Structure 1
Amino acid sequence: MAAIDIKNPKKVSTATVVSAGLLGGYITARESGIRPLGGVVLAAAGGWAVRSWLSKTNIATTVGLTALYVGGFGASHPLAKKIGSWPSVLAVTGATAGAAYLLSDSK
């Protein structure tokens, strides 16, 4: 038995992981006042999701979902100026998690 038992990537719910990354990254940056710390949360969750997408799907789907995850983070900033921070983060999280579920987790 290994010191750390890491879950099989095919059994990881990536919709949950990307939600944790986007919401957790935002909350971490906001509450700590250290924006790069939020980026660490975002990157860690993204890496975990990519690991699972590579295992569950093909390269094209993995690249697309990764682009959506990173693009959602980027798009949330200008969107926040129009609709507010929380609505923006929730909107991009919902879109990204929905895509992760449809294209990876439901298979």
Structure 2
Amino acid sequence: MTKLPGAAKLPGAVRVPSAVIAAGGLVGGYGVARWTGKRQLGGVVLAAAGAAAARRWRRQAGGPAAGALGVAYVAAFAGSHPLARKVGAWPSVCGVAGAVAALSWAVADRNARR
């Protein structure tokens, strides 16, 4: 397990895969928006997780891959809205989050140094 920079004070700290960050941003952003009734607050969660995932993608897979994954993240967010009309909100969000996580793992996490 890889320790985070400066994590000497936290033995056992591990790096969270970018797939988890990205999926968590989509699910967490929706959950926060739904439970607080404040869409802007959900957007903050979505954007913060997207930025964190993008930094990891760039470090692990390079700029072009990070750009493509960023587009996929935004497209998943946008695509979850019309999909929700057909399958429901939570199934839609979970489905697009799973797709982004799988893509992120395949492109950036699978071959990342541990």
TM-score normalized with structure 1 length:
0.88
SS at match of 1:79: helix
Partner of 1:73: 77
**Larger Rg over CA atoms:** 2
Deviation at 1:12, TM superposition (A): 4.0
Q: CA RMSD in A?
A: 1.5
Deviation at 1:20, TM superposition (A): 1.1
Deviation at 1:60, TM superposition (A): 1.5
Name the CA distance, whole Å, in 2 between partners of 1:103 and 1:54: 11
**Does residue 34 of the first structure (1) align with residue 38 of the second (2)?**
yes
Partner of 1:93: 97
Cα deviation per residue 1:47-82 (whole Å; 9 max; x = unaligned)? 000111111112211111000001100000000001
Name the CA distance, whole Å, in 2 between partners of 1:16 and 1:84: 22
Gaps of 5+ in 2: 1-5, 8-14
**Does residue 102 of the first structure (1) align with residue 106 of the second (2)?**
yes
Name the CA distance, whole Å, in 2 between partners of 1:53 and 1:88: 24
SS at match of 1:99: helix
Name the CA distance, whole Å, in 1 between partners of 2:16 and 2:60: 10
Count of residue pairs brought into register by the alignment: 100
Q: Which amino acid aligns with 1:15?
A: A
Deviation at 1:90, TM superposition (A): 0.8
Which has the higher relative contact order, 1 or 2, with Cα contacts under 8 A spaced 6 or more apart?
A: 1
**Does residue 60 of the first structure (1) align with residue 64 of the second (2)?**
yes
Gaps of 5+ in 1: none
Q: Post-superposition, which runs of at least 4 consecutive aligned residues in structure 1 deviate over 2 A?
A: none
Partner of 1:14: 18
TM-score normalized with structure 2 length:
0.83
